[in-house]
Amino acid sequence: MKFIILVLMVLSLVTIVPIGVEAQKGLKTYTVEDEYSFKYPSNWKLEERENRFTSVDARLEYGNNDVQVIFERGEETLNFASNDQLLGAMKTVIESKNSGAVFESGLDKYVFNNQTAAYAIGTYETEPLFGSALNMVVFVTGVHIADNELVLVQYVAEENDFDKYFPKVEEVLNSISPINADNTESPVT
């Protein structure tokens, strides 16, 4: 009987206390130095990387480092005059990896912040310390946050996990938005 009363009390509190839509979806928001923000699943680990020694702004990982999403914005990302040049650079980086090969690439498949985004998907092998090499897949894209500014985003996962987590990564990519002077978001919610 006491258990039933306890359950009824908890249920009544749940219906009385409003839960935000993002909390219901299990999303958190992260803001990078008043430049841009993105939403990510609350069960993914966020590592802030904002320091003077790296151009990486943040890194998300899921599981035992099974999935990684790396956000990078810096002066070197602004040197591309066109999406064609950016796409060429993405392909070169993938092909320079151990057994790296571009699997798919393009300029108009993805749209983020109402702008088309260059992207490349490639495969490569890890350099094993012990055991055998892992077959990895990397997705790289550039998300425009202002006229001449973009964020390079890399999604890396093992070959067998890539498609499984890609829909969540697409949600994260679609949530990237510039921070305007009149928009006040908290660093982490």
Distance of alpha carbon 181 from alpha carbon 128, whole angstroms: 47
Q: Is residue 187 part of a domain?
A: no
What does the radius of gyration of the chain's CA atoms come to, in whole angstroms?
20
What token pair was written down for 109?
């498949």
Range with the poorest average pLDDT among 56-65, 92-101, 176-185: 176-185
Q: Is residue 59 part of a domain?
A: yes
Q: Is residue 9 part of a domain?
A: yes
Please say if the pLDDT value at position 16 is more than 80. no
Q: Is residue 188 part of a domain?
A: no
Q: What count of Cα atoms within 13 Å lies in the side-chain half-sphere of residue 116?
A: 11
CATH code where residue 162 lies: 3.40.1000.10
Domain assignment of residue 83, given as a range: 2-178
Give me the chain's average pLDDT, please. 79
Task: Specify the residue for token string 């066109």.
Answer: 82
Q: Is residue 136 part of a domain?
A: yes
Range with the poorest average pLDDT among 50-54, 104-108, 112-116, 132-136: 50-54
Max distance between CA atoms of the chain, in angstroms, equals 71
Strand-pairing partners, residue 111, are: 116
Residue 53: the pLDDT is 65
Distance of alpha carbon 117 from alpha carbon 77, whole angstroms: 14
Q: Is residue 185 part of a domain?
A: no
Name the pLDDT band for 147 (thresholds 50, 70, 90).
Answer: confident
Q: Is residue 183 part of a domain?
A: no
Domain count, the chain: 1
What token pair was written down for 116?
């088309």
Please say if the pLDDT value at position 137 is more than 90. yes
Q: Is residue 41 part of a domain?
A: yes
Please say if the pLDDT value at position 74 is more than 80. no
More confident site: 129 or 142: 142
CB 145: neighbour CB atoms within 10 A? 21
b or e along 21-30 (b: 16 or more beta carbons within 10 Å of the residue's beta carbon)? Answer: eeeeeebbbb
Distance of alpha carbon 124 from alpha carbon 117, whole angstroms: 23
More confident site: 81 or 42: 42
Q: What count of Cα atoms within 13 Å lies in the side-chain half-sphere of residue 100?
A: 15
